[in-house]
Structure 1
Amino acid sequence: MVSRVWTDAARRKRLHSTPEKDQRKPFEVDRDRIQYSSALHRLAGVTQIVRVGEADVFHTRQQHTYKVAQVGRRLAQNCIDADPKLAKKLGVDVEVVEAACLAHDLGHPPFGHAGENKLNELLEGREDPDGFEGNAQTFRILTTLGVRYPDCLGLDLTRATLAACLKYPWTRDPTKPERSIKWGAYKVDQADFDFARRFQDHAFQTTEAALMDWADDIAYSVHDLEDFHRVGAIPWNHILNEGSQEIIRKTHEVWFGAPSDAQAHLNAAFERLASVLNSAFSVLLNTSYEGSREQRVALRSLTSFLIGRFLTAAKLTEEGNGLHIPLDTLAEVKLLKQIAKQYIISNPSLIAQQLGQKKVISELFGILWDNSEKGPPRFLPVRLRYIWDVCEGKRARFSADCIASLTEHEVVALHARLCGLSGGSVLDPIVR
C-alpha cells in the first residue's frame, strides 16, 4: 500500500486562503465555486461528440458533466456506505468527488478532441513544450485562469479538490509513453501542481480522483450510446453478430496497459452484454427507434441497469489508487466506449466537419499570435484581456488560453469577423 498520510487540515488547505466564511463546509464551497463558474457555463456551448446545436438529442459537454457529477456522487456514497472505515482512511469525501466531476472537462476546448489536438500541434509548433491537453487546461482554469477573487488567480480550491481533479497526476514527460500522451498539468503551473500533490508520495491518482475517473467512464460509455441509439446510428444487430469480433479486436488494440488475459475478459464481457441486450431489452434491437413509450421505457431501463451495474462493481481497496474495478467490468465499459468510437467518432461526415473546425482554430490562433507581440490585441474582447497578464508575455500560451476560453459559437463568430467572412455589427459584441 502506498502512503496516504495527509490530515484533514492538509486536505482543507487553500493555497491563497481567501478570508470568506459562510455556513458551508470547505469542500461544499469548492463544489459550489465550480458549479457557478463561467468555465462550467461555457460547456453548454462545447461539443461532447456531435457539434453543439446540430440536434437537441445529443449531449453537450455540460450535460455530460452534470451526469458524471451525479454518477460520481452516487459512486462515492456507495463506496463510503460499503466500507466507511477504509473510506475515511483513504480520504473519500462525497463533495470532493462531485466537485472533481463537475470540473473534469472545464479545459475541454471548442470542437472536442479535434480542437484539443490542433491546439497541441500549434503550441508545439511555437516551441511550447507544455503543448495543450484538456486535463491540464482544466487544472490551469482552476488554479490560474478562473476568476473569483480580486487578490488571487483561479478559484482558490482546497488541496483535496485540486488533487481529485488530477486524472493524470503528472506533467508532460516525452520520455515516458503514458506521460507523453496524457498529462494533468502544465509545467508553467508547477507550483499549483506541487501544492495539490504535496502529500502524495506516489504516481497514483488520489482515491477521489479515481472515483471521478470511473464516473466519467461510466457516463461516457452509457449516455453517448443512448444518444446515438435514438438517431438510429448504432447497428446493434450487426454488432452483436458478424461485427462482434471486430469490436473486440479494436477494443483490445487500444487498451493501454492491458493485462495478459485481456482477450479472454473482452470475449466474456461481450457475451454478457449481448445476453443482456438480447433478453431484457430486445425491443430496442428489433425495431427502429421511433420514440414510442415502450422504447423510451426500455432505453431508460437499460441505461439505469448499466450504470448501476458499473457503479456497484467498484470497491475501495488499500492497493494502488484505492479503487478496485473488476477486470470483467472494466472490459464491458471499454467495449461500449469502442462501439461509440467505431460507429460515431469515425463517421466520415464527422471527420470532414472536424477538418473545417481545425482550420478555424488554426487561423484564429495565428491571428492572435501575430497581433499580441506587445500586448493583448485591440480587437480582443474585453473579457479575455486579463489572460495576457496571466501568461506574462508567452504569446503561444496566451493564444491557446483565449481560444480555449470560448464556446464554439464564439470561436466561429470571432474567426469570421477577423477573417472578413462576416462583418457583423459593431453594436454586437461576440464575447460578453
Structure 2
Amino acid sequence: MAFPSGSRAPFAARPEATRGRFSPEPASRTRSVFARDRDRIIHCTAFRRLKGKTQVFVAHEGDHYRTRLTHSLEVAQIARSLAHALGLDQDLAEAIALAHDLGHPPFGHAGEDELQARMAGWGGFDHNVQTFRVVTRLEARYPAFDGLNLTWETLEGVVKHNGPVSQRLDEPAWRAIADYASGRPELDLDLGGFASLEAQVAAIADDIAYNNHDVDDGVQSGLLSLDELAAVPLIGPVLAGVWRDWPGLDARMARLEAVRRMIGVMVEDVLAETERRLAEDGVTSLDDVRGARRTMVAFSAGMLAELGGLRRFLYERMYRHYRVNRIRSQARRILAEMFDLFVAEPEILPPEWSARAMTDDPVRRARAVCDYIAGMTDRFAIEEHRRLFNLDSALDL
C-alpha cells in the first residue's frame, strides 16, 4: 500500500475538512490549518522550555544528551517520514509530534512521578493532560483567546495519540478534557475512539526515537558498552551487521551507525505492519480509523518481542543504575520541597502565579502550584530550590 510522493491516502486527515478551532479565526493565505498549528507550537514558550528539560540525564550533566526539545525534533522527523510513506498529512503528524511533550515537568519521569504523588488528592497529574492545559489555557500569547487555539484534529492527537482514554474519565484531570467543548458538540473529542493515523504515527515515532536515543545516550554516558549491547535483542544483530560491513570501525562511529540502522529497521517494520492492518481491517476512510477495533499504526509481534528484550535491558542497566537513581532521588526531593512550600505559602510565588494560588480552594491552589512547577526547566528548578532553601542564597531572592 505505497502512495506516490505528494498523493494523499483516503484515510488521511484533510486540512480543508477540519472541524475547526474553539475560537473561529480567518484562514491563513500561506499555510494549511495544520501547518499553522505546527508553527504556533514551535513559537510557544513551552516549546522553548523543552531545551532545558531532560529525559534520563539532568541538563547540567552534559551538552550532548537528549533534551525534551531535541527529542521532540527527532520524533517529528520520524513522524513526517512515516506520514509521507503512508500518504498522510505530514503537517498534522509533525504538529502532534512537536506538541507531545509540552506538558512534561522538569527532571523527566522522576519529575512526573513526584507531581503525581503531590497531586494525588487534588486532581492528579498526567503529562498528556498537562500538555492539553498548556495548549488550551496556560500559554498566553494571543489577545483573543487563551492557549494556542489549535484545531480539533491536533487537540485530538495530543490527547489520544496513545489510544482511547475514556476509561480514565474517573480521574478529575481527564474529566476536564471531556468537558472542554461543553455545549459545542462539533468539538467533542470523543475520548472513546481512536485518533487519526497522523496521531498514531506521532505516538510510534516517539517510541522509535526514545528507544534508539536512550541506547545512544546510555553508551555516551558510560552506563552501557557496545560489547554488552552485542548480546541484546534488536540492537545486537544490528551491531553485528555494522561490524561485518565495517571491520575495525571505531566505537563512536559504530554506535552512531547502529542507531541509524536500528531506526531504519523499526520504521520499515511499522510501515509493513500498518499496511497489513489497514488491508486486513478494510480501513478506507478516516471514520474507519476512528471506529477501528485496534490501533492501526503499530509494530509487528516480532518487533514488539525484540523491543521488550531491549527495554528490559535498558531498565536494568540504565534506568535503574545507581547514578540515575541518585539523580531521580534528588530531583524528587527538589520538587517535593518546593511544592509543599508553595502550597503552604503561595504569597512567595512570582506575582502572576501567586495571584492564581492565593485562594481558599485547596484544589485550585495546588493546581496553580503544579502548573508553575511543571513549566520549570531542570536548571530553573535547581536554582529556584537553592534560592528558597539555601540560606547562603538569601540575597538572591
Map of 2:350 onto structure 1: 381
Q: 1:234 aligns with which of 224, 227, 231?
A: 224
CA distance in 2, matches of 1:332, 1:197: 40
CA distance in 1, matches of 2:238, 2:370: 45
* 1:365 aligned partner: 339
Task: Mark the CA change 1:240 to 1:55 in structure 2 (over 3 Å): closer, same or farther.
Answer: same
2:176 counterpart of 1:188: yes
The answer to whether the 8 Å contact 2:239/2:254 transfers is no
Aligned-pair CA distance for 1:385: 5.3
Aligned match for 1:307, one of 254, 263, 269: 263
Q: For each residue in 1:279-326, what CA deviation from the matched residue of structure 2 results, as whole angstroms up to 9, or x when unmatched?
A: 333699x99xxxxx8444433322221112211222242253332431
Residue 162 (1) aligns with residue 155 (2): yes
1:419 counterpart = 2:350? no
Decide whether the 8 Å contact of 2:230 with 2:237 is kept in 1.
Answer: no
- Residue 173 of structure 1 aligns with which residue? 168
Contact kept? 1:391, 1:397, Cα under 8 Å: no
Structure 2 counterparts to residues 140-155 of structure 1, below 5 A: 140-155=133-148
Q: Which residue of 2 aligns with 1:214?
A: 204
- Could you tell me how far apart the structure 1 residues matched to 2:235 and 2:371 are? 42
What is the percentage of aligned positions where both structures have the same residue? 29
2:103 maps to which residue?
107
Aligned to 2:3: none
Cα 1:12/1:422, change in 2 over 3 Å: farther
1:18-37 to 2 correspondences below 5 Å: 18-19=25-26, 21-37=28-44
Quote the offset at 1:148 in angstroms.
Answer: 2.2
Distance in 2 of aligned mates of 1:99 and 1:359: 34
Aligned to 1:394, what secondary structure does the other structure show? helix
Q: CA offset at residue 420 of structure 1?
A: 4.0
Residues 419/300 of structure 1: CA separation in 2 closer, same or farther (3 Å cut) = closer
Q: Number of matched residues?
A: 364
| Matched residue type, 1:113 | H
SS in 2 for 1:47: coil
Q: 2-side partners of 1:391 and 1:308: how far apart?
A: 54
Alpha-carbon distance change, 217 to 390 in structure 1, aligned in 2, over 3 angstroms: farther
Partner of 2:112: 116
Equivalent position of 1:260 in the other structure: none
Is 1:79 aligned to residue 74 of structure 2? no
- Once residues 221 and 389 of structure 2 are traced to their aligned partners in structure 1, the CA distance between those partners, rounded to angstroms, is 35
Q: Take 2:203 and 2:191, find their aligned partners in 1: how far apart are those partners?
A: 20
Correspondence 1:55-94 to 2 at 5 A: 55-80=62-87, 92-94=88-90
Per the alignment, do residues 275 and 350 of structure 1 end up closer, same or farther by CA in structure 2, a change over 3 Å counting?
closer
Once superposed, what is the RMSD of the aligned Cα atoms? 3.3
Instruction: Indicate the larger mover: 188-197 or 32-41.
Output: 188-197
Kept in 1: contact 2:357–2:366 (CA 8 A): no
Mapped to 2, the partners of 1:391 and 1:148 lie a distance apart of 28
Q: Is the deviation greater in 115-124 or in 16-25?
A: 16-25
Alignment match, 1:259 = none
Distance 1:133 1:422 in 2: 35
Task: State whether residues 46 and 112 of structure 1, in contact with CA within 8 Å, keep that contact through their aligned partners in structure 2.
Answer: yes
Where 1:24 maps in the other structure, the secondary structure is coil
Gaps of 5+ in 1: 81-91, 245-269, 288-292
What code does the residue aligned with 1:407 have?
A: T
Relative distance call for 1:275 and 1:6 in structure 2 (3 A) is closer
Of 99, 113, 128 in structure 2, the residue corresponding to residue 135 of structure 1 is 128
TM-score (norm 2): 0.81
TM-score, with structure 1 as normaliser: 0.75
Amino acid at match of 2:174: Y
